[in-house]
Amino acid sequence: MAAENGSTGNSPRSKIALITGITGQDGSYLTELLISKNYEVHGLIRRSSSFNTQRINHIYIDPHNTYRAKMKLHYADLSDASSLRRWLDIILPDEIYNLAAQSHVAVSFEIPDYTADVVATGALRFLEALRSHISATGRSHVKYYQAGSSEMFGSTPPPQSESTPFHPRSPYAVSKCSAHWYTVNYREAYGIFACNGILFNHESPRRGENFVTRKITRAVGRIKIGLQSKVFLGNLQASRDWGFAGDYVEAMWMMLQQEKPDDYVVATEDSHTVEEFLEVAFMYVGLNWKEHVEIDKRYFRPTEVDNLKGDASKAKKVLGWKPKVGFEQLVKMMVDEDVELAKREKVLVDAGYIDAQQQP
């Protein structure tokens, strides 16, 4: 007789993970990590008229191939509580990673209602769905991870640790603060194993192109190959603690392997300005950033966050986590990928398939 979830006899069954935001940067790296640890991974995705699964296409295997398909995708939305509860009841996950968000800080000023609904109330919907699921099924072992952000610290001076007061400076950051405290509340009120990961900025070649780091490295590649001449940016003096997303998802997983739930700052403890990022990226390919960068006031936020630098000593001590990729290695990794991307783009431009004049 087949045991639960396809395991047979006395062989241990794979853990089951449920990920929201699986199509994002962090979701793709986390999926790779969990599959390498023999998890069965389920991702919740929004319905879209255009495909947005490019970050996980290399992982995807048709679910009809039952024994090879370790990742399965399901339609749901953090704005739809019924879909969250339904998939909890069907998938029966052991671990939940709530990574989904409207995650662009500047855009949150343009669509604050939507940002709050998905980031703040969305987390509440998921936590309440989990509480109800546990109450109905008795599956009290389920563990929940909530993706926090260093933006919650806002204008509070660095270094920032788990005990540092929050002073959010954007609708996104305020919403993340709400999600953080909802998670703490459900942990304390209902005994749910729920953790907050307060992750400082983490980047990779999979970062969205409208985030400043990827915007820079994408421009470096295109400028080097001759497809672009300028890139328009905002505040170059903003300082951030930048790490590699592939390192940070490991910390997420580690949090849910502990005996007791808790909250952790995840950071490199090293900060750099946007200008420093520019210098490393452009210099790496033999260019002078000052010849290609122009300041556009539209990219300044109504309320700026000047300096974020984490104190990750708790994560190092309790989880045994530490970053593997340093700042310069991260920048060069991203530039290498974007130079190769620009080369492929140049082939299409030269063949007349696309127009290179989309950028000045």
Beta bridge partners of 265: 198
Please say if 172 is a catalytic residue.
yes
40: buried, middle or exposed (CB in 10 Å: 19+, 13-18, 0-12)?
buried
Q: How many CB atoms lie within 10 A of CB 98?
A: 24
108: buried, middle or exposed (CB in 10 Å: 19+, 13-18, 0-12)?
buried
| Coil vs helix vs strand at 126 | helix
Would strands 202-203 and 231-233 be described as parallel, antiparallel, or unpaired?
unpaired
Number of helices (H) and strands (E), helices first, in the chain?
11, 13
Beta bridge partners of 196: 146, 263
Torsion of CA 7, 12, 16, 17, to 10 degrees: -150
Q: Indicate which residue of 103, 108, 149, 178 is catalytic.
A: 149
Please say if 170 is a catalytic residue.
no
CA 252/CA 147 separation, integer angstroms: 8
Q: Indicate which residue of 151, 203, 269, 345 is catalytic.
A: 151
Q: Indicate which residue of 172, 182, 186, 284 is catalytic.
A: 172
**Residues designated as active site:** 149, 151, 172
